[in-house]
Structure formats: C-alpha cells, structure tokens
Amino acid sequence: MKFRRLTMAAAAALLSVLFFLAANAQAQTTLRIGLAEDPDILDPTLARTYVGRIVFSALCDKLFDIDEKLNIVPQLALGYDSSADGKEMTIKLRPNVKFHDGEPLDAEAAKYSIERHMTMPGSFRKSELASVDHVEVLDPLTIKLVLKTRYAPLIAQLTDRAGMMVSPKAAKAAGDKFGLHPVCAGPYKFVERVQQDRIVFEKFADYWNKDNVFVDKIVYLPIVDSTVRLANLKSGSLDLIERLLATDIKDVRADANLVLSTAPDIGYYGLTINIGNDKSKGPLSQSEKVRQALDLSIDREAINQVVFNGEFTPGNQWVSPTHPYYQKAFPLRPRDVEKAKALLKEAGVKTPVSVDYMVPKGTEYEAVAQVVQAMAAEAGFDIKIRVVEFATTFKEAQSGNFQVFQINWSGRIDPDGNSYIFLHSGAPQNDGGYSNPEADRLMEDGRLTSDPAQRKAIYEKMTGIILNDEPIIYIFHRTLLIAHTSKLEGYRPMPDGLVRVVGLKLK
C-alpha cells in the first residue's frame, strides 16, 4: 500500500483543523453537579429551598455575597452607606452589568427587582424586606432604600435571594411563569429544565466577571439516593456532589480521585410542629407539654452517632452552640423518658399519642425519622412516618397537611434569618402557624439594634419563650459535606453550603 505525501498547504490545513478541534474540545467543558433534591421554582422571589439556592449561585448574582469567614462582600453592588438613624441605605451598583437577555442592570432594574420581591403575590422575600418602605433611584447606578424603621439584618438579607436581580423586561413578560425561564445577571444563563431529571446552564458571554468563568456548561442532576449520587461521582458521571453521607466520609478520603470539602453549617435541622394549622387538632398542637415530652424523648447525641458517625453538632436552638448568639443560659437537656411520660400524664392525653410525621424522601432524612420514631415510642408516642417527595413537602406544609415536618434549614449569617420567618406570626415560612405576641415583639426588637450585646439580651428572652412553646424542636447542626473529583480546581467550601462556580476549572 502506498501512502500519498501531503503537500505543505494540505498539512497546514490539517493541523489547523486539529488545533481547532482540540481548542473547541478544551473550551466545551461541562461541570456536572449532583443534587440531593430537585429544586422548587427557579424564581428568586417565589423560591424557598436550599437546593434551589445552590442552583441560583450560578444563575442569579446578588447585590452582595459572603466570603468564607461570613464577611459581607460586594457582588452586583460596589458598596453601601447607611444614614445615622439607620433608616436609609444607599447602594452603588457595579457599572456595565447586563442581564442574560442583554438588558442593562441599572438603578431602575434594581428598584424593580426589590419591589417585585416586596409586592409579588406568594413572595417569600416579603418578610425579609418588610422594613423597606420604598426604593428611590438617585442616579443611573445608585438606589436608596428608605426604611419604615431600623432593620439591622437588611444588608445580610441582600446577600441572598432578596438581593438577587431579575431582568425587568423578562419578568414583566413572564409574570408568575418567570421561574420556567429565569433571566438574571449571573455567570450562567438558563438553557433548559426537565423536572426530576436535569437543569442545564451555559456560560453567559457578557458576564461582568467573565474572565474568572472557566467552565462552559453546568448540568445539575437531582439524585435523591445518596449512594447512587456517590457512585456516579466515583464513576466519573458527576464532578461534584452536595450532601455526602457522613457514613461515606472514610470512603471518599480513601479514594485518590476524590476530594472531600467540609464547613460548619450556619443553619439547623429541626421538627416543625403544626400548632395553628392542624386540622385534626391533635395533642401536639393543643399542648406545649406534649411538645416538650416529644423533645425530651429524643437523644440528640445518639442520632448524631447512629446516623452521622458523630460528625454533626447536637443543638436545641436556631443557631449552633459555637455561634456568638447561642444562648448558654439554655443548655441542651439530656434525654429524659420518665419526665416525658410525666408531661404526657399532666397534659391528660391518651397514650400512645398518634403523630403524622412528614419527612422528605432521602437516606439521612428517613434514617433520622426512624431513630426519632423508636425513641419517642418509649415515651408514649406512636409516630407514623410519611415519606414525601422533597418539593411536595413544602406544598403539604403550606396547606397544613402535617403534624410534624422534619426539615433542614440551610441558615443565614444573621440570627434573624434563622428565626423570624419561621416563628413570627404570619411569617411566610411559619408553616406551623405558631403565634406568640411576646415572641413577636422580641423578634421585632431584635431587628431594631445593631449592637450585639443588646441583640443577644433580646434573643435570650425570646429563646426562653420558644423553648417553652416548642413550635420547632431543634435537633442538630450539620457539617457541610461536599465531595468532588480531583480534576476540579478552585472549589471553596462556604458556610452556607452553596457552590460558587466562578473560579472553578476542570483539568
């Protein structure tokens, strides 16, 4: 067989094609992220799930963000100034920022986004921005938030969904369907979503910080089964998974192709009790003594050891024992089955007390529920575990279709963000319908001062009320466990558990 010699021109052309193909293959990198659940709606005004916040990290930039040490840092804003009386906040926006549809992010757009969070029916941002009276445009890149009263947590709220900016043009056109094709100002733009299967984003060419975006496409894959999630990471079908099982830590550390990333959680894992919306008027909703009995039946450290290999932190408040706002005057009580039985007797309820216990589908969720079920049985409770698809649990909770809702809260950097929206009368995520006027007043007072000592004294009084009323039984605080391939570079563990995609590279 004879081989024909290439001419110089043909050889040059072939090399050019090969270089193009190689460069194109290099450019078309795809980061595949395994999620523990399928997010709810991809509209920052209407969304409420932790897993949704992970996805939003790539899609919707915020006015401000946080760093590894919980410091507030600029993102779409360059900075802010507060008036001496704390009733005005002036925010300077970053210039030359575009939304994914090419529209400019200017002061008018920022004003629209904040007002949409404040006024849209069904908004979960209303209570987060309740102190804002109105928004003023001072110049094309400056807005002023005029407050009804001082609100210490406001800047912290703007580091999350309340600070996410949406394209006014797209949002006005889509209305309440905006979440089906969201248009924001993040590093990646929306391509498609198939419920329970995948969410696909591609790099936004006009992103303001595009020089630090190195991956072309991100695919989020909801895989509820933690074992399957890890198997996909090991096989190379995924590049990163969130919420690794604590029992799989040793396995990941022993694998040279994987990297384990950890950070302390700023949220909590608890049992929300349906007090005000319980249609069945069961004993848990009618008596704080019954709720206290359920609390005393639980051995938090045993749950930590059995389910989480001792990696998590038992707790009894909305912030962890290491948090500066943790109230040491109310330490964690040990399990006391006899005291629990006595409280049920004092409450005059018939035992065993039947309890509808709703838990999201998932290995660790279900394992915790089963341990609680066994412990509570010894005190006189008949817990009937009802496993529900994750996003559906929130619809059930809002409808009052539960007696106990076992759920994790990912947490906020200010203690107000871990308490007000769940405990204040009428707050949007107060699914249990809890209401205590004195607790309401203290939560409101906690928003009026920035002085840590004064705030902590206010929260101490509030803690006493909440631990007596028990609208939420706090159980533990997670250690955030994220595993990724060693081919992924630039990943930074963050205390909010969100995956920042800017700066990530795939080798």
DSSP three-state, residue 318:
coil
The pTM is what? Answer: 0.87
| Distance (Å, whole) CA 185 – CA 22 | 30
| Distance (Å, whole) CA 217 – CA 219 | 7
Tokens of 328: 């040491």
| Distance (Å, whole) CA 159 – CA 23 | 37
- Count the neighbouring beta carbons within 10 Å of the beta carbon of residue 426: 10
Return the closest-CA partner of residue 285 out of 153, 459, 145, 433.
433
pLDDT of residue 14: 44
Assign 22 a pLDDT band (cuts: 50, 70, 90): very low
- H or E element that contains 259: strand 258-264
Residue 2 pLDDT > 60, yes or no?
no
pLDDT digits (tens, 9 = 90+) for 155-192: 999 999 999 999 999 999 999 999 999 999 999 999 99
pLDDT digits (tens, 9 = 90+) for 339-350: 999 999 999 999
pLDDT of residue 196: 95
Q: What is the mean pLDDT of residues 478-502?
A: 95
Q: State the DSSP code for 331.
A: P
**DSSP per-residue string spanning 354-404:** EEEEEEESSHHHHHHHHHHHHHHHHHTEEEEEEEE-HHHHHHHHHTT--SE
pLDDT digits (tens, 9 = 90+) for 438-476: 999 999 999 999 999 999 999 999 999 999 999 999 999
Residue 56 pLDDT > 80, yes or no?
yes
CATH class held by domain 61-167: alpha beta
- H or E element that contains 116: helix 107-119
Altogether, the residues listed in the chain come to a count of 507
| Distance (Å, whole) CA 187 – CA 201 | 9
pLDDT of residue 27: 54
pLDDT of residue 492: 94
Tokens of 426: 């009428």
**DSSP per-residue string spanning 153-168:** THHHHTTTGGGB---H
**Whether 226 contacts 363, CB under 8 Å:** yes
HSE-CB at 111 with a 13 A cutoff on CA atoms is 18
pLDDT digits (tens, 9 = 90+) for 102-161: 999 999 999 999 999 999 999 999 999 999 999 999 999 999 999 999 999 999 999 999
- Count the neighbouring beta carbons within 10 Å of the beta carbon of residue 120: 18
**DSSP per-residue string spanning 181-236:** S---SSSEEEEEEETTTEEEEEE-TT-TTGGG---SEEEEEE---HHHHHHHHHHT
Residue 12 pLDDT > 90, yes or no?
no
Tell me which of 3.40.50.2300, 3.10.450.40, 3.40.190.10, 3.40.50.720 is the CATH number of domain 30-36+186-263+480-506: 3.40.190.10
pLDDT of residue 7: 52
**Whether 473 contacts 294, CB under 8 Å:** yes
**Whether 153 contacts 98, CB under 8 Å:** no
pLDDT of residue 28: 85
- Separation in Å, CA 300 to CA 101, 163, 226, 272, 335: 49, 35, 22, 16, 8
**Whether 69 contacts 195, CB under 8 Å:** no
HSE-CB at 246 with a 13 A cutoff on CA atoms is 20
Residue 9 pLDDT > 80, yes or no?
no
Q: Whole-angstrom distance between the N-terminal and C-terminal Cα of the chain? A: 41
pLDDT of residue 11: 45
β-partners of residue 270 are: 407, 474
pLDDT digits (tens, 9 = 90+) for 417-428: 999 999 999 998
Tokens of 66: 């946080």
Give residue 138's identity as a one-letter amino acid code: L
DSSP three-state, residue 85:
coil
Cα 201–99–413 angle (5° rounding)?
Answer: 75
Domain ranges for the chain, please list them.
30-36+186-263+480-506, 61-167, 268-477
Q: Given CA atoms 331, 333, 339, 340 in this order, what sign does their dihedral have?
A: positive
Please indicate whether residue 217 or residue 15 has the higher confidence score (pLDDT): 217
Return the closest-CA partner of residue 356 out of 384, 316, 317, 315.
384
Alpha helix stretches (DSSP H) within 380-488:
390-398, 420-423, 437-446, 452-469
Residue 394 pLDDT > 90, yes or no?
yes
The pairs formed by 103-109 with CB atoms below 8 angstroms and a separation of 24 or more are 103/167, 103/168, 103/169, 103/170, 105/76, 105/165, 105/185, 106/140, 106/141, 107/137, 107/138, 107/139, 107/140, 107/141, 107/142, 107/143, 108/137, 108/168, 109/165, 109/167, 109/168
Tell me which of 3.60.15.10, 3.40.50.300, 3.40.50.150, 3.10.105.10 is the CATH number of domain 268-477: 3.10.105.10
Residue 1 pLDDT > 50, yes or no?
no
Residue with tokens 């022993």: 254
To the nearest 10°, report the CA torsion of 450, 453, 458, 459.
90
* Percent of all residues in the chain with a pLDDT value above 70, rounded to a whole number: 95
